[in-house]
Structure 1
Amino acid sequence: MDQISLNHEASAGDTHKQLVSSLPPEVVQCLENARFLHLATCIDNQPHVSLMNYTYIPSSQYSSAPVIVMTTNPSSKKTNNLVVNPNVSLLVHDWVSHRPPTQGRRMSGGSPGPEHRSSLASLLLNLNTSAISSISATINGTAQLVARGSDEERFYRSQHLENNTFDSEGGTVPFDGGFGANGGAGGQQQDGGRECFVAGEEVRVILVHIKDIRTSDWKGSVKDWVLVPEGGPAAVNGIR
């Protein structure tokens, strides 16, 4: 098997961080294309990952810097975690995640093997396994629960609600904005859960302020950026 040579340092390194005042175009494209992200929270050395709907907002009257908006049940594990520890990590990509058929692989869930698929189904599967984007992005930042009943909360909630209209496509929105231990596919509803889990009165709005970004492509190339406000510090860890 041919080995892919890395044209950047090993991914554990961070000596090539670039200071930027706005998100790189490829990261913006990834955020605008993807439908879900993975939200990682952690307390007491116990990590927790949730699959979430989200809305990327480049700037607004409430923040000149880009933010990522999500909503959550106030009693969810992710909510409890980020109240104790607001440091979060997000993984976003717009690669289609369906696994292509592997010869000899045992199919689960009664899925038909390659020999039983129609030519149309095979064509759609091949299209579906094609990468839309060339990168995935890991975004680190701090999360806050926006003050309940505030104008800021109403603004972000309306933006998030407008951005999550998947029911019009015949699809669904994950329970609680994400698949969690108390959610899963069984929590999906005919309207995608949109009115309940995005617009519901008890739902809390999460705002993630971006600190740094790491992108990786299929060749193993890694790039790092640190997001600083205009007129911010001239150096981070000695890097200008």
Structure 2
Amino acid sequence: MSNSLPEEVVTCLQNARFLHLATCSENIPHVSLMNYTYLPNTPYSSSPIIIMTTPASSRKTQNLESNSLVSLLVHDWISHRPPTLSQPGRSPSPTRPAPRSGSLAELLLGMNTASLSRISTTINGVAQMVPSGSEEETWYKAQHVANNTFSDGTEDIYSTSPGGQGLWGSGGLGNGAASGDAPREGNAGAQCYLDGEEVRVVIVKIRDGRIADWKGQVRDWRLSEGTQGTLPNGTAD
């Protein structure tokens, strides 16, 4: 056990753009791709937490209301799938035009997963719905918006979705909203902030997890019980 997260987990949480949130209710699993904010501590919690927002009527919200145990998957892998070897009756996947000899494209395609990938980490924790209209909710929302607001142009460069439109792209769930409408879940940048009574702020208090690298090596970690305390209204228990 440790009083703090492993350094590589902290680095991964600070650098990754999205995470996968796994919830479950009545033995039916559900996975969502989420914007998030990681904080090592807050005025309301002495332990590391992750902030997310979700519509009150969503599947994951319903799951969280019946089962607060969640798993998160975060990784800092930036590599793409390498081509498979040609086999009889099967074309290589994915197929790409051959780059010119000595070109930058050839160099980039020559970079394998080992040189670009580092770790993935599975995080287990307990989710908590922040009371609607509370000062705590306001504080968490402000942190979440600040962490997911990007300067002009940088979002397109670093976006992990086609078209540089963030989580769902221009054709996703956020598309089709009229000007002035509240942004919908999945939009990137400041639009990850969902305004309105139907929006819930969720925090996940981290308990333990597992680190895996591209070689398949794994290492388990766990926070000590004392690290998982809370600070209601900014004061210790």
- Alpha-carbon distance in 1 for matches of 2:39, 2:227: 21
State which of 208, 225, 229 in structure 2 corresponds to 1:212: 208
Query: Residues 25, 162 of structure 1: CA spacing in aligned structure 2 closer, same or farther, 3 A cutoff?
Result: same
Q: Which amino acid aligns with 2:195?
A: G
What secondary structure does 2:172 align onto? helix
TM-score where L is the length of structure 1: 0.73
Counterpart of 1:198? 193
Query: Residues 146, 128 of structure 1: CA spacing in aligned structure 2 closer, same or farther, 3 A cutoff?
Result: farther
1:50 correspondence with 2:46: no
State which of 146, 149, 154 in structure 2 corresponds to 1:162: 146
Contact 2:117/2:214, CA 8 A, preserved across alignment: no
Tell me how far 1:91 sits from its aligned partner. 0.7
Give the RMSD, CA atoms, in angstroms.
Answer: 3.1
What secondary structure does 1:186 align onto? coil
Counterpart of 1:138? 122
- Alpha-carbon distance in 2 for matches of 1:46, 1:62: 32
State which of 225, 230, 233 in structure 1 corresponds to 2:221: 225
1:187 correspondence with 2:173: yes
Cα deviations by residue, 1:118-169 (Å, 9 ceiling, x for unpaired): 9444545556956555221110011111111111111111111111124732
Q: Which amino acid aligns with 2:7?
A: P
- Alpha-carbon distance in 1 for matches of 2:135, 2:100: 52
Counterpart of 1:114? 97
Q: Which amino acid aligns with 1:173?
A: G
Query: Residues 22, 167 of structure 1: CA spacing in aligned structure 2 closer, same or farther, 3 A cutoff?
Result: same
- Alpha-carbon distance in 2 for matches of 1:184, 1:45: 33
Counterpart of 1:62? 44
TM-score where L is the length of structure 2: 0.74
Q: Which amino acid aligns with 2:217?
A: S
Q: Which amino acid aligns with 1:187?
A: L
1:151 correspondence with 2:135: yes
Contact 2:56/2:199, CA 8 A, preserved across alignment: yes
Number of aligned residue pairs: give it. Answer: 205
- Alpha-carbon distance in 1 for matches of 2:117, 2:95: 28
Q: Give the percent of matched residue pairs that are identical in Structure 1 and Structure 2.
A: 55
Contact 1:167/1:173, CA 8 A, preserved across alignment: no
More displaced, 116-125 or 59-68? 116-125
